[in-house]
Every structure is written in C-alpha cells, then in structure tokens.
Amino acid sequence: DAKTTQPTSMDCAEGRAANLPCNHSTISGNEYVYWYRQIHSQGPQYIIHGLKNNETNEMASLIITEDRKSSTLILPHATLRDTAVYYCIVRGNDYKLSFGAGTTVTVRA
C-alpha cells in the first residue's frame, strides 16, 4: 500500500471549515483513499473514502486531485466534537488498513 504524509497537528476555529491535507504521491491506480478519525479513548471511526472522484457524505467531503497524488478532507462546519486524530489511509487489494500517525485536529471555541 502507498504511504501517506499528513501534518502532525492543526487547529481550527469552531464553526469554520477544517481542511485536512494528505499526500500520497506513490498511490497506484487501484488504491482507494480512506479517512478515519479517532476521538480520545474510542475506536477509529470511518469518515469517507474515494478512488478518483470527489465524494461527500453527511460527515465530510473528500477532494482528490486529478493526478491522485494528494487529497483534502473537508469538515464543513467544525464543532468541538470534531477534535480528534484524523488518519488518511491508502489501501489496495490487501485486507488490512495501515494506520500512520495521523493529524491531531483541535477545534477551538
């Protein structure tokens, strides 16, 4: 599976959009981009995934660049409950998900 690079941490103001970048320059054609988050002392929670088209669900939007070498997770109106570690994962045919260190997002009032 391709490796990903994310910033270690970022802050966001409550009510504003949070844009979380992820680089995956070695991604191959059949690999999906997944985003998960983990709130303190809980199990990771699935947010969204995509292959090459932009995706949106009730939690977030995923924007994937045309060359697929990077993506951005957008939380449109961040709340204090969105404070968590966010993981960007690239996954191919393998069963397993490989989690990196993720981005610690702190939403401030």
Partner 1 sequence: DVKVTQSSRYLVKRTGEKVFLECVQDMDHENMFWYRQDPGLGLRLIYFSYDVKMKEKGDIPEGYSVSREKKERFSLILESASTNQTSMYLCASSRSHGRLYGYTFGSGTRLTVV
Given the rule CB under 8 A, which residues bind partner 1?
Answer: 32, 34, 36, 41-46, 49, 91-93, 95-102
Q: 34 or 107: whose CB is closer to partner 1?
A: 34
Smallest gap, in angstroms, from Cβ of residue 16 to partner 1?
26
Smallest gap, in angstroms, from Cβ of residue 13 to partner 1?
28
The residues near 86 (Cβ < 8 Å, ≥ 6 apart) are: 6, 20, 35, 36, 37, 47, 73, 102, 103, 104, 105
- Give φ, ψ of 80 to 5 degrees: -60, -30
Smallest gap, in angstroms, from Cβ of residue 37 to partner 1?
11
Q: 21 or 44: whose CB is closer to partner 1?
A: 44
Smallest gap, in angstroms, from Cβ of residue 53 to partner 1?
14
Q: 86 or 102: whose CB is closer to partner 1?
A: 102
How far is residue 55's CA from residue 101's CA, in Å, rounded to a whole number?
A: 24
Q: 41 or 109: whose CB is closer to partner 1?
A: 41
